[in-house]
Structure 1
Amino acid sequence: KEIDLVGITVITVTAKRAYEIADTFRARGVKVILGGTHPSFLPAEAGQHADAVVIGEAEGIWPAVVEDFKANRLQNTYQQHERPGLVGLPIPRRDLFAKGAYFIPNTVSTTRGCPYACSFCSVTSFFGHTYRCRPLAEIIKEIETLNERKQIIFVDDNIVGKPKFAKELFLAIAPYKLKWLGQASVTIARDDELLKLAAASGCVGLLIGFESIYPANLAV
């Protein structure tokens, strides 16, 4: 197929493979844009494999990137300085995905950021010391567009970062009888109501980071 423009979101663990893919397309004469946490922190490195690098959250600046591409005036880097609002975010065109290509094809984001500031973590460095929530109605609307919505991964870095919002979210999605996975902080274990609502809403697993059980290791 003829491809006009390739955009790849890159995290550190996928950087090597993302660069390989980017290099392959560029060798075919296709323009490549790289963005995400890894290129945002290492734009010079990413720029060796891209025609342009987007630094920060891309929604606000992506239309300008596309217009520059159409006009054949791509800049080396683009930076989104303001944190974009989460109201009215476009719903991804999942109908374009190859069916059967993904173990769990449905990923949904309900929040961005984390209320904590762990020194080793990239989340607050990338998203800032903010925790932003999407409107519940828009989250539900997106879930309703999923053809196979029995299994979902919520890609929030900490889906329980704001317990009040998380409880409202779990109550809202419970009628859809989902089976979902997500990421959370261990603080969820201290809130019985939150745990019960998560389970009732279809939670089948949470990824929780335990960096070390030894305080001395955490101080290194």
Structure 2
Amino acid sequence: MLMPATRQTTTDASVATRSARRLRRPGWRDLRLVVGLLLVLLSVAGGIRLVGSLDDTTPVYAAAHDLLPGQQVGADDLVTVHARLGDQTASYVDGSAPLAPGTHLVRQVGQGELVPASALGTARQALDKSVGVPVDTVAARSLVSGTTVDVWVSHRDDEAVGESYLDPELLLAGALVDSVPAQTSGLGAGLGRTAVQVVVPADQVGRVIAAVDQDARITLVPSPRPDAGSGR
């Protein structure tokens, strides 16, 4: 009759031992496991951060050699580089997209220099020049930047006595006004003139400057707007 009691006592002791093992404090082996897991997590986080920093670059164009104002730019003139530009990204030319056909340099870009967006333009922007033209101050008030004008010139009549001018001639059609001074400039102030900056094709710059140097009377006539008659 004593044998069943002995088995029951042994079973109870085994259960108590297992419960005690589950309730005991973590040992040094458990701490090593926790530290190891933390190191793994930190390593993964550092790797993610490193990859993210490596990807924080933007492809932009740089000059493969010295680029001069007025020249047309092609694929052979540029190389793609990756740079960290931050909030200045929009100031440079995107190196992941091809340039538009007919793109020209409007200012010099040195070899290896990142190409600013402001350095590229159309052939007209690259080749045309802005020339100061003295015109009547009152007439200049009707002009604004971007106005299309025809440039008329009346040359002095050297054979006439006193101040006399020949009949006006069309010197340049369809020119653009670059800028108009807010106030009358000192140029010819006694004659009631102000200097208006007019965009002139490169092959016509000499003629315009000659007219100014010869003290010809220059008149800027605004061209009719395309929609001028649409309101009727």
TM-score normalised by length of structure 2: 0.23
Larger RCO, structure (CA 8 Å, separation 6 or more): 2
Structure with the higher strand share, 1 or 2: 2
